[in-house]
Structure 1
Amino acid sequence: MDHSLETSRHKCAACFRQFNKIEHLVDHMRTSFHSHHEPTCAICKKHCRSLDSLREHLIGPLPKQECKNIFATRGCKFCLAIFDSSYSQRLHQERCQFSPVNSGLLARFANLGIRDGSTVIDSGRTRGSGAIALACKYVGGGSDGSMDICAKVCLIDEGENVIFYSYVKPVTAVTNYRYETTGIRPEHIRDAMPVKQVQKKIQEILYNGGEKARILVGDCVEDDLKRLQIGYPSFMIRDTANYPPLMKSSKLCNSLKYLAQVYLGFDLQNGIQDPYEECIVAMRLYKRMRSQVHRKENYPMASDPQNKNNFAIWRENELQRMSPEQMLEISRSDYYCWCMDLRI
């Protein structure tokens, strides 16, 4: 037997396995998109694709036991942060849990003069640079009442002040007022603001009177815009329904009620719901996500052209020698983190 040939074969097999290892590593780095914007366990530094995944890691149903034990005594169940002591954790959680909005809802409405069938336009707040939250309530149209028709709309600013609040007079016949959840009756929309006028007013607010488009916040807000037949730049929309950190581990969207309860600490009211309250929940979620402190990067997105050479062929051997921490330095996010809104 030619031993030199056999040795050569072994070397070739080893090289092939090594090549596959490097190729797998590069492919993993290209598709994992781990970044400093991902929810991360403050204890073991595990990166998760969503806050729900991080919650499962810390609380269950199959948590990492060491992390679970520490989180149970020093963790905030709302923002999932870890603190130095249980005392500082309790102080933080009192501030982290937002008080329910519905307790002061009627009082604020009374101060604004909002009543059944009324329209409120705060002209002093229609111009500004902050984000706007939008929410709508829909009645039913069509033969079976399943068609969504906008019958009430609300817009608030970052201070939770009402900018625009109005019932909407539909152009399509209403066959189901869905009173149990909308609280809307025929007399509320009989003489309400026409749809065209509502569209014009919303666009005026969103585009800041033609000066500059403002960030639009909401839950399923893109669906609201479609039903209102209002076009708006997608890069200016912040939708809590499809923001990756707020989605389920299965990448499906969570309900606004779930997000309010788990990440803000209060329950959306059951029964009749008002778009004002939904605006507040969406705005508070947005501001909480925006306020996260992440490391600043020159090119934070994987789609940035400057990041294309991070996984070039000539770097494969270099990648193999890197530690997980070093790999994280060159990996980038595949979604736009809302924390970057503060740097615009």
Structure 2
Amino acid sequence: MQTTPEVGDEFVAISCVNVGVGPGGTTSMLARVALVDYKGHVLLDHYVQPTPGVTLTDCRTASTGITYEDLYSDNSLSFSEVQMKVGKMVKGKILVGYCIWNDLSVLGMSHPAVHTRDVGLYQPFRNALRSPNTIIRLPTLAWTLLNRRCSEGLLNPVEMARAAIDIYRSAAEDWENAITNRNWPSALPPSTFSRCYY
């Protein structure tokens, strides 16, 4: 028996948390990734094992809550496994998130630009907060638009992905109408991350 697709089935929200590798831990490496559906239900939430041969120098625990043990727990997968899983789950979907280029970059992936909905780039949100040329922080968007706190303690990719999809949903009708009318309503991502889109 064939089931009817539910409203929002074409959307997946993403968020990643990184740790530091290399000298001084200033280079970011994927440490945890989460995907949620249109209603905020968790589709995927995994820690990511450090890439062999890469020196993990800073778990950034004070902000991420991630420890070395987390990255080798039963809920951790190799980078290639995570990349493959995420790739399969977002293929053909509209990807929602905040500063999506950061997530795509650390995952080593690209996604069709027209199939992204980045709440950090949506111009009406920027205009409403009187910051037309500035990327507004996700906690600020969540508080201003949803009266909800987000990422006040440790960075939690599930919480951040849920915030992104809920922020998107708050403007979904206007957002999609603008796209249908060929009036792309978002600013462009940084040109240095053009490889993350096609």
Task: Give the TM bin, normalised by the shorter chain.
Answer: 0.7 to 0.9
Tell me which residue corresponds to 1:154. 34
The CA distance in 2 between the partners of 1:241 and 1:137, in whole Å, is 17
> How big is the shift at 1:250?
3.9
CA RMSD of aligned residues (A): 2.1
Identity, in percent, stands at 27
What SS does the aligned partner of 1:136 have?
Answer: strand
| 1:91-240 mapped onto 2 (5 Å cutoff) | 129-171=9-51, 172-191=54-73, 192-207=76-91, 213-240=92-119
The CA distance in 2 between the partners of 1:293 and 1:268, in whole Å, is 23
Which has the bigger relative contact order, CA under 8 A and spacing at least 6? 2
The CA distance in 2 between the partners of 1:188 and 1:275, in whole Å, is 14
| 1:277-296 mapped onto 2 (5 Å cutoff) | 277-292=159-174
Q: Which moved more, 1:240-249 or 1:194-203?
A: 240-249
The CA distance in 2 between the partners of 1:169 and 1:236, in whole Å, is 29
Tell me which residue corresponds to 1:22. none
The CA distance in 2 between the partners of 1:241 and 1:143, in whole Å, is 30
Match of 2:133 among 247, 251, 266: 251
> How big is the shift at 1:271?
2.5
The CA distance in 2 between the partners of 1:147 and 1:194, in whole Å, is 18
Aligned length: 171
Does the aligned pair in 2 maintain the 1:246–1:253 contact within 8 Å?
Answer: no
Does the aligned pair in 1 maintain the 2:124–2:185 contact within 8 Å?
Answer: no
User: Which runs of 5 or more residues in structure 1 are unaligned?
Assistant: 1-127, 208-212, 302-332, 338-344
What SS does the aligned partner of 1:144 have?
Answer: helix
Q: Which amino acid aligns with 1:220?
A: C
Query: Over residues 141-189 of structure 1, what are the superposed CA-to-partner deviations in whole Å (9 max), with x where a residue is unaligned?
Result: 1211111111001000011111111000121221111111111111111
Q: Which amino acid aligns with 2:102?
A: D
> How big is the shift at 1:252?
1.1
> How big is the shift at 1:279?
0.6
Does the aligned pair in 1 maintain the 2:151–2:160 contact within 8 Å?
Answer: no
Does the aligned pair in 2 maintain the 1:217–1:282 contact within 8 Å?
Answer: yes
Does the aligned pair in 2 maintain the 1:220–1:240 contact within 8 Å?
Answer: yes
Does the aligned pair in 2 maintain the 1:134–1:153 contact within 8 Å?
Answer: yes
What SS does the aligned partner of 1:280 have?
Answer: helix
> How big is the shift at 1:268?
1.4
The CA distance in 2 between the partners of 1:178 and 1:293, in whole Å, is 35
> How big is the shift at 1:292?
3.7
> How big is the shift at 1:293?
9.0
What SS does the aligned partner of 1:186 have?
Answer: coil
TM-score by structure 2 length? 0.79
More helix by share: 1
Large movers: runs of 4+ above 6 Å: none
Does the aligned pair in 2 maintain the 1:169–1:193 contact within 8 Å?
Answer: yes
The CA distance in 2 between the partners of 1:174 and 1:232, in whole Å, is 28
> How big is the shift at 1:190?
2.3
The CA distance in 1 between the partners of 2:175 and 2:103, in whole Å, is 30
Match of 2:120 among 208, 218, 241: 241
Q: Which amino acid aligns with 2:66?
A: I
Q: Which amino acid aligns with 1:195?
A: F
What SS does the aligned partner of 1:225 have?
Answer: helix
Q: Which amino acid aligns with 2:89?
A: I
What SS does the aligned partner of 2:85 have?
Answer: helix
Query: Structure 1 293/206 Cα, relative in aligned 2: closer, same or farther at 3 Å?
Result: closer
Q: Which moved more, 1:168-177 or 1:242-251?
A: 242-251
Query: Over residues 291-340 of structure 1, what are the superposed CA-to-partner deviations in whole Å (9 max), with x where a residue is unaligned?
Result: 3499x79x823xxxxxxxxxxxxxxxxxxxxxxxxxxxxxxx4x247xxx
Tell me which residue corresponds to 2:194. none
Does the aligned pair in 1 maintain the 2:9–2:38 contact within 8 Å?
Answer: no
Query: Over residues 220-255 of structure 1, what are the superposed CA-to-partner deviations in whole Å (9 max), with x where a residue is unaligned?
Result: 112210111012111111111112112253411100
The CA distance in 2 between the partners of 1:185 and 1:166, in whole Å, is 14
The CA distance in 1 between the partners of 2:155 and 2:168, in whole Å, is 20
User: Which runs of 5 or more residues in structure 2 are unaligned?
Assistant: 1-7, 187-198
| 1:69-108 mapped onto 2 (5 Å cutoff) | none
